[in-house]
Amino acid sequence: MALAGKTQSLNSVPGARTSLPLWQLLQSVATVVAAVRSGSSASPALEKVGAEQRPAVQALAFHVLRNLGAAEALRTKLASRAPPAQADALLCTALALACQADTAPYEVFTLVNQTVEAAKRSSGMHAQANFINACLRRFLREQEALVADLANDLVARWNHPVWWIKRLKADYPTAWQAILANNNTQAPMTLRVNVKKSDRNAYLALLGVADISAIASGQVGVTLQKARQVQDIPGFAQGVVSVQDASAQLAAPLLLGASSHAAQPMRVLDACAAPGGKTAHLLETGHCEVVAIDIDPLRCQRIQQNLSRLGLAAQLLTADAALPQTWWDGVLFDAVLLDAPCTASGIVRRHPDVRWLRRESDIAQLAQVQARLLKALWPLVKPGGRLLYCTCSVFRAEGADQMQTFLAHNTDARLMASPGQLLPHFCRNGDTVPDNPQDDHDGFYLALLEKSKV
């Protein structure tokens, strides 16, 4: 964790170019960090940030959240008592941005000066400016020893809660370190080409004309070399592409299989469908009629917006998928996609706040929800039909263990060939891989079940 090395300008961070002063950005970042530390998702806090500075604030906030364990350990060494919450968030923001020099967005001296300026210019933190300045100046003097000492602190070293680290170590005795390290990298931006409007080769050519570097991923995916704002992606507004991770792109074709070209449309249920990425992929991939359900009316609106942009249509229901008696018409489904609520432990590259928001008890609680959904939806699958169970989790309790229990209690279910557990940014041979290889994907679990015909 040495501090020697080059630093980069924030303008080199994809989507984060801005002319705003750094102190102003740091104020907003500290507000996001404070929200997460109080138990709230980063998303609502980021939505409150002005449009001009939001991309830069998000880039910096995600950087901080990926290094928050180290930052909090450093702050403990620098001050025997934590300052008020907002001031502490600003101090930890600066330490998180400075503790890894090879990935720091600014020179450490610049960060220190601008952090103190941010405190001085904030009515709520003005009184803490001298305290923050003293802590950061000491960090400058003792940075090498302070950072080196973090290697002995499990949370500081891996920037995950202790329970999360222990759970991964138990689930993956030989891979847990690689999973944690990969969780702290920036995820690639992968697109799914809408085959009803284009094909991948044509779209790659379109990107080439726009001087945007990309590689093919999966069956219809394209991974950009550098992330961009969606409004700057060619064809996005016209519904030619959608943003969807490579692992999530496996779901629709796996569920539909060879039946995607059947003469008669398949009747498909997409349970827990919001925000609609897999709903859209089902409609793009196969000859099917999709019923999409989500319990949240606002999230159902998001599904409709996404389908409208793509020129697709599905039957949308605002309902609890676990209570079919309240919404099901009694007609069995050829296929059911259950993308179940989970800890989201597989997508912390994209949502680094998740690791600090989850509690260990959430795993058991969510596993119960998943089991309840499986029990409720399996009777809706016609004999010979399929159900695809998936979660964006790497915890076995939400994947292999859940499926093992279900199969033990449902003898009419057969586990078909399916990917099982995908680990984030992780090769099958157990080695980490360079940025943006074809198999660079989020952590995900997929299990395809077929119902016996008799």
| CATH code of the domain covering residue 309 | 3.40.50.150
Domain CATH number, residue 75: 1.10.940.10
Is 272 designated active site? no
Tell me, yes or no, whether 165 lies in a domain: no
Burial of residue 332 (number of CB atoms within 10 Å: 0-12, 13-18, 19+) = middle
Between residues 215 and 261, the one the model is more confident about: 215
Q: Is 295 found in the same domain as 403?
A: yes
Q: Is 111 found in the same domain as 55?
A: yes
Q: What is the pLDDT of residues 88-131, one digit of tens each?
A: 999 999 999 999 878 889 999 999 999 999 999 998 889 999 99
Token pair recorded at residue 21: 């002063």
Tell me, yes or no, whether 3 lies in a domain: no
Q: Is 339 found in the same domain as 440?
A: yes
Of 92, 99, 342, 392, catalytic: 392
Q: Is 374 found in the same domain as 269?
A: yes
Domain end point (choices 243, 275, 306): 243
Range of the domain at 407: 250-451
Torsion angles phi and psi, residue 263, rounded to 5 = -65, -40
Q: Is 91 found in the same domain as 24?
A: yes
Domain CATH number, residue 199: 3.30.70.1170
pLDDT at 12: 42
Q: What is the mean pLDDT of residues 82-90?
A: 95
Q: Is 89 found in the same domain as 112?
A: yes
Q: Is 269 found in the same domain as 235?
A: no
Q: Is 374 found in the same domain as 273?
A: yes
pLDDT at 16: 54
Q: What is the mean pLDDT of residues 301-314?
A: 97
Domain end point (choices 243, 264, 281): 243
Residue 119: closest CA among 249, 257, 22, 242: 22
- Number of structural domains, the chain? 3
pLDDT at 425: 72
Residues 57, 69: Cα–Cα separation, whole Å? 19
Share of the chain above pLDDT 90, in %: 87
Residues 150, 158: Cα–Cα separation, whole Å? 10
pLDDT grade for 433, boundaries at 50, 70 and 90 = very low
Q: What is the mean pLDDT of residues 362-376?
A: 98
Tell me, yes or no, whether 353 lies in a domain: yes
SS3 category, 381:
strand
Tell me, yes or no, whether 178 lies in a domain: no
Q: Which long-range contacts (CB under 8 A, 24 or more apart) does 395-401 make?
A: 395/167, 395/168, 395/171, 395/343, 395/345, 395/363, 396/171, 396/421, 397/363, 397/364, 397/367, 398/340, 398/342, 398/343, 398/345, 398/363, 398/366, 398/367, 398/370, 398/445, 399/445, 399/447, 400/445, 401/367
Q: Is 403 found in the same domain as 433?
A: yes
Tell me, yes or no, whether 174 lies in a domain: no
Q: Is 437 found in the same domain as 320?
A: yes
Q: Is 442 found in the same domain as 380?
A: yes
pLDDT grade for 3, boundaries at 50, 70 and 90 = very low
Relative to beta strand 381-391, strand 413-415 is unpaired
132 Cβ contact list (under 8 Å, min separation 6): 83, 87, 90, 91, 94, 115, 116, 119, 125
pTM, entire model: 0.91
Q: Is 129 found in the same domain as 63?
A: yes
Q: What is the pLDDT of residues 142-164, one digit of tens each?
A: 999 999 999 999 999 999 999 99
Tell me, yes or no, whether 169 lies in a domain: no
